[in-house]
A and B are shown apart, each in its own frame.
Chain A
Amino acid sequence: SYELTQPSSVSVSPGQTARITCSGDVLAKKYARWFQQKPGQAPVLVIYKDSERPSGIPERFSGSSSGTTVTLTISGAQVEDEADYYCYSAGDNNRVFGGGTKLTVL
């Protein structure tokens, strides 16, 4: 079955660049997407198809892919970006989320 591995936590100061990685063999063949989730709220899609950004998502959010690793980059992280971030990918009969990364901005 698919597995996606993320670091459990990442910390940056406001204005710095935050990078969150997600690794898994499936990512060499399948697209990834990223979700932001704040406490008590439903997840919000921030990146799809590895690097595409939905409308309404700030330009400081970007995604990239290399081999079996995808990366979510938040350039100039803001305090309001503090949240849990999940990667996700899917195959024919599998849909899997990464374990999540808690981003702290302070």
Chain B
Amino acid sequence: EVQLVESGGGLIQPGGSLRLSCAASGLTVSSNYMSWVRQAPGKGLEWVSIIYGSSNTYYADSVKGRFTISRDNSKNTLYLQMNSLRAEDTAVYYCARGGSGVNDALSDFDYWGQGTLVTVSS
């Protein structure tokens, strides 16, 4: 059974930093496209970042230069380092398997974590 378990969310002041983790079981993070997707309170889904292959990474324009996606293969864990946080980064952050550019496989966004809430406020 595949499980993705996010952690690391919380209340942080504007300008602060936070690192989210996504511990995976039942799938190998390094062998899959892995994405972070966020959802602001009462709003829709927004793709944030992806990592795949030998550590190829892409970011949404809204977080480029502030967020860094990475993984620890030995721990089978995905990370999102978030710096220079803004109020508009307040959201539930989900990790999910998927995000390939071809978008034709069942394995794109078939597994999601339960999400972790990040609140940016003074």
A67 is an interface residue with CB less than 8 A from chain B: no
Contact B106 A52, beta carbon cutoff 8 Å: yes
Q: Which residue of A is nearest B35, CB measured?
A: A95
Tell me, yes or no, whether B44 is within 8 Å of chain A by CB.
Answer: yes
Name which of B11-19, B24-32, B80-88, B96-104 contacts chain A: B96-104
CB–CB B114/A45 < 8 A: no
Say which size band chain B's interface belongs to.
20 to 34
* Interface of chain B: mostly helix, strand, loop or mixed: loop
B45 adjacent to A35 (CB under 8 Å): yes
Shortest Cβ distance from residue A24 to the other chain B in the assembled complex, whole angstroms? 13
What per-residue 1/0 map shows which CB atoms of A37-53 lie under 8 Å from chain B?
Answer: 10000111100110010
A54 and B103 in contact (CB under 8 A), knowing A97-B46, A99-B44?
no
Question: Which chain B residues in 71-121 approach chain A with CB under 8 Å?
Answer: 94, 99-106, 108-110, 112-115
A68 to chain B, nearest CB (A): 16
- A17-35: CB near B (< 8 Å → 1, else 0) gives 0000000000000111101
Q: Total interface residues on A, using CB and 8 Å?
A: 29
Interface residues of A (CB under 8 A from B): 1, 30-33, 35, 37, 42-45, 48-49, 52, 54, 84, 86, 88-93, 95-100
Q: Which B residues have a C-beta under 8 Å from some C-beta of A?
A: 35, 37, 44-47, 50, 58, 60-61, 94, 99-106, 108-110, 112-115
